[in-house]
Amino acid sequence: MYKYLSVIHLLILLWVAACTSQPEEEEKKDPMGPLRISDNGKFFTKADGEPFFWLGDTGWLLFSKLTREEAEKYLENRRQKGFNVIQVMVLHNVSAVNVYGDSALINQNVATPKVTEGNTLADSAQYDFWDHVDYVIDKAAEKEMYMALVPVWGSNVKNGFVNQQQAATYGTWLAERYRERPNIIWLNGGDIRGDDSLQVWQTLGSTLQANDPNHLVTFHPRGRTQSSMWFHEAPWLDFNMFQSGHRRYDQDSTELNFGEDNWRYVQVDYQKEPVKPTLDGEPSYEGIPQGLHDTTQPRWQAKDIRRYGYWSVFAGACGFTYGDNAVMQMYRPGDEERSYGVSEFWYDAIHHPGAGQMLYLKSLILSRPYFERVPDPTIIAEQGDQYDYLTATRGKDYAFVYTYTGRDMKINMGKIAGEKVKASWYSPRDGKETEIGVFPNQGVHEFDPPGTKEEGNDWVLILDAEK
């Protein structure tokens, strides 16, 4: 009898040990981890190999304008809307002071960050600018969100406040401070051409990579330019970023003259060697004047932001960054300065419809096999131009075709596997999918989206191989 009790006792001990060890194993699992480039060089992956679709928001002045509590509110709102990257300036300018009155630098010199010992908010003498940055970054990590950090905004370099040596010292300090945090991405530059102070940007980029090799580095360029113009072959540039900007077709007189066709930037990058991911890091912002500076102009709306998202992603981009006029500058009561005719406060603007609709793009792209996805304009028999432009992307067993205006689509069948395909309409406005029917996978078939043809009546035609 005692022998049987001993066996039972042993089994109980083993069961208890297994139960108590399980939480420890779970604690070891890192839901974040540094991002990686996919094997085909075109997308991001998580450390475990799962696909990562970049859905970013421009919270540029988050570190300097919001309190801890406000930062929590903003991040939670973005998490609930599916955002997983926040683009933010570490230093908007060399005289940066945060909402608690803490200066970032000594003597406005990026090579001498102003750091105090301790990080207790209750004791203001032990809580500095950098402690607040740490807090927000860690809070984002708790919500499984990445922070894409611009070390110093480009205008500071352009105006001569940062030289190569200062950039090297500051970049080393930044990298050493944040390289152990799992949710960091480095955005060199900051709304500036790469050939403006080229050597400073090369120094900063290479310094960040050398001292923090586990985190990805890119360059945030000036409007209507792309990082690949100057840095595509730079060893420190892990992926490309472009800023399609805030101008209409008739307002763009720049060298590329792509106008609102942000998909063209993707096409340029997609063909370059070596292969690197690319994305639109700053399209037109919701609620900002068309053309940016003339506040009498119409404002960009949610429908426009959706168009930029689907156009660029279907062209082959690895993600998309949304922006809002009030949110990007964290406009708040009492602000003496405001930019671009902003009138709403950030805590109201976070609920604008375009922000909530970005999740539907992310959900659609992740709903099918991800890494096999390629752009394929040959699916479309009549592609159109400007607002009537159709764009298509596909995998082996599926295809997506986007229309911004709800125009008729003539589709070349037979581009995906299967003798028959199931067709559905997907709404970028609410994420609802409506089945159309099953069709032979051959010849040319015409699909007529619901509703009348007009700007903002956008739809995605989904074709799935019938099995």
For 243-307, give the DSSP string. E--S--GGG--SSS--TT-THHHHHHHHT-SS---EEES--PPBTSBTTSS-TTSPBP-HHHHHH
Of 1, 171, 200, 35, the C-alpha closest to 90 is: 171
**371 within some domain:** no
Query: What is the structure's pLDDT at 213?
Result: 97
Report, as an integer, the average pLDDT of 437-457.
98
Q: Residues 307, 228: one domain?
A: yes
Distance of CA 432 to the CA centre of its chain: 23
Contact 414, 375 (CB under 8 A): no
Q: Residues 432, 283: one domain?
A: no
Provide the pLDDT confidence category of residue 4 given band limits of 50, 70 and 90: very low
Q: Residues 212, 246: one domain?
A: yes
Cα–Cα distance for residue pair 457/74, rounded to 1 Å: 30
Does residue 88 register a pLDDT over 60?
yes
Per DSSP, 409 falls in state: E
Report, as an integer, the average pLDDT of 160-183.
98
Cα–Cα distance for residue pair 86/77, rounded to 1 Å: 12
**129 within some domain:** yes
**323 within some domain:** yes
Q: Residues 415, 361: one domain?
A: no
Domain boundary (336, 366, 396) is at 366
Report, as an integer, the average pLDDT of 190-205.
98
**26 within some domain:** no
Q: Which is it for the CA torsion 227, 229, 234, 239, positive or negative? A: positive
Contact 135, 62 (CB under 8 A): no
Q: Residues 232, 96: one domain?
A: yes
Half-sphere exposure of 259 (CA within 13 A, CB side): 9
CATH number of the domain within which 423 lies: 2.60.40
Q: Residues 232, 170: one domain?
A: yes
Cα–Cα distance for residue pair 411/5, rounded to 1 Å: 73
Helix axes 198-211, 164-178, angle to 10 degrees: 30
Q: Residues 316, 392: one domain?
A: no
SS3 (DSSP) at 111: strand
- Ranges of H-type helices in 315-366: 325-328, 346-349, 353-366
The pLDDT tens digits of the residues spanning 297-331 come to 999 999 999 999 999 999 999 999 999 999 999 99
Which domain covers residue 322, as residue numbers?
36-366
Q: Residues 250, 300: one domain?
A: yes
Domain count, the chain: 2
Percent of the chain with pLDDT over 70: 93
The pLDDT tens digits of the residues spanning 240-278 come to 999 999 999 999 999 899 999 999 999 999 999 999 999
**403 within some domain:** yes
Q: Residues 84, 196: one domain?
A: yes
Does residue 29 register a pLDDT over 70?
no
**12 within some domain:** no
The pLDDT tens digits of the residues spanning 98-146 come to 999 999 999 999 999 999 988 787 777 789 999 999 999 999 999 999 9
More confident residue, 25 or 378: 378
**3 within some domain:** no
Q: Residues 357, 384: one domain?
A: no
First to last CA, the chain: 61
Q: Residues 183, 73: one domain?
A: yes
Domain boundary (314, 335, 366) is at 366
Percent of the chain with pLDDT over 90: 89
Residue that the structure tokens 């060298």 belong to: 255
